[in-house]
Amino acid sequence: MRHDQRPVAIAGGGIGGLACALALAQRGFPSIVLEQAREFGEVGVGLQVAPNALSVLDALGVGDRARRDALLIERMLMMDGVSGETIVDIPCGPEFIARYGNPYAVAHRADIHGALLDACRDHPLVQLRTRSRVIGFDQDADGVSVHVGAPTDASAGVSARADAAGAAPAFERVQAAALVGADGVQSRIRQILIGDGDPFPSGFMIYRAVIPVAEMPADLQHPYPTLWAGHDTHIIYYPVRGWTVFNFGATVRIHDRPVDESTEAPLDEALAACAGQHPTPLRVMRAAGRFRRWTIRRRDPVDNWTRGAVTLLGDGAHPMVQFIAQGAAMALEDALCLAVMVEESAGDFVEAFRRYQDIRIVRASRVQAMSWMMDRLLHAGGVERRVRNSIFAGRTPEDSYTRLDWLYQPPDYVRAPRT
């Protein structure tokens, strides 16, 4: 036998967990994805898919499917939400594509997640299980015993009483060669490995909405995301799903005020929260009408994600604010890097996870830290706003590309499996 045929257990079937399962399967390693929810799916609508993310999707063989309903954007635009002037305008045409090997896309989250899910369903080496909440694990030299409890949270749609009555297995152990915690920002595996408490509220929340194209102001329907950087707020909107709807998000500094995520927010509340913004994005906000509220959580980078044959990836390892739209991209890169290291270590998971962490930790932590540093640029007021604008003034596309090379050019482990 070439290697341990017990599966790798993957806690969480989001973009990171599914990409990991697929990348392992393509290299001959079986996995079992344990997802707590009743169904596989994604929360939210829009996703910016930068070229480094598309390169991973290509390497996984799902790039064409992911691009099918995505919009390949013409430019990246950042406007001053106080004065209305253009701050950043980066063309994403042929020169950009040639430089990074891929365009910049915006997509519906379900399209990206769905592309990975279908490929996992089609692969005989991937087992997919829902209503399977990972609650713990034991590890010894022989592998990992993963403790799976019945889901008890609202996201799984199952109550504790129903579990006790036998509607779902109350407890089970899954024997695995290794365990990957791809269980998101509230990662249970991280709690056990690192134990650094809950991710803290970042001091920001987001008002999210979906605007049917018929209700979106016609003069603001552009083939690219428009980001309005205001004092303590930023607003972004872009079309998804073949221009049928626009994704809308207004991020607002709230300090430590609590956020009610269980009810919808009315327009008046969202308008008041963004009162200083330019009239143009507020027209889009009015078209949206009602909003879901969402707390933005974050952590600072840590220097370890791994213990033996157990490791973390994606938001479990390095949850970040969405200010440079790279969280899912980092989860995809993690997933592929991890699988490549497992292949190169011939199934020695302890060695593979050590190498994976070593390769990924600086890049992912840099993106995590940079995302948070963008607070200063995106939400500047007073003289800081003018300083920000002067920093970007006069930049040519080439200047911008030079600054983005490290991020958008795919790392060398982003490659298809050897055939």
Ligand X SMILES: Cc1cc2nc3c(=O)[nH]c(=O)nc-3n(C[C@H](O)[C@H](O)[C@H](O)COP(=O)(O)OP(=O)(O)OC[C@H]3O[C@@H](n4cnc5c(N)ncnc54)[C@H](O)[C@@H]3O)c2cc1C
Which of 61, 13, 6 is closest to 29 using CA atoms? 6
Q: How far is the CB of 230 from ligand X (least distance, A)?
A: 17
Residue 125 and residue 10 in contact, taking contact as beta carbons nearer than 8 Å: no
Interacting positions 135-174 with ligand X (CB under 6 A): 155
Confirm or reject binding of residue 51 to ligand X (CB under 6 A): no
Options 183, 232, 333, 375; binder of ligand X; rule CB under 6 A: 183
Residue 26 or 322 having the CB closest to ligand X: 322
Confirm or reject binding of residue 206 to ligand X (CB under 6 A): yes
With CB under 6 A, what is the number of residues at the site for ligand X? 34
Confirm or reject binding of residue 133 to ligand X (CB under 6 A): yes
Confirm or reject binding of residue 182 to ligand X (CB under 6 A): yes
Confirm or reject binding of residue 134 to ligand X (CB under 6 A): yes
Instruction: Give kind and range of the element (H or E) at residue 143.
Output: strand 143-149
* Cα three-residue angle 66-67-68, rounded to 5 degrees: 95
308: Cβ contacts below 8 Å, ≥ 6 apart? 139, 350, 353
Q: Candidates 122-130, 240-248, 283-291, 309-317 — which segment interacts with ligand X by CB under 6 A?
A: 309-317
Under DSSP, is residue 34 helix (H, G, I), strand (E, B) or coil?
strand
Give residue 135's identity as a one-letter amino acid code.
I
Q: How far is the CB of 240 from ligand X (least distance, A)?
A: 11
320: Cβ contacts below 8 Å, ≥ 6 apart? 298, 326, 327, 330, 367, 368, 371, 372
**Integer angstrom CA distances of residue 289 from 187, 269, 292, 293, 361:** 33, 10, 11, 13, 41
Instruction: Give kind and range of the element (H or E) at residue 298.
Output: strand 291-298
Confirm or reject binding of residue 331 to ligand X (CB under 6 A): yes
Options 211, 329, 339, 341; binder of ligand X; rule CB under 6 A: 329
Residue 199 or 327 having the CB closest to ligand X: 327
Options 55, 233, 306, 326; binder of ligand X; rule CB under 6 A: 326
Binding-residue pattern over the window 11 to 30 for ligand X, x denoting contact by CB under 6 A = xxxxxxx-------------
Locate 345 and state its tokens.
């270590």
Q: Candidates 59-67, 123-131, 310-318, 391-399 — which segment interacts with ligand X by CB under 6 A?
A: 310-318
- Binding footprint of ligand X on the chain (CB under 6 A): 11-17, 34-37, 47-48, 53, 133-134, 155, 182-185, 188, 206, 249, 314-316, 322, 325-329, 331
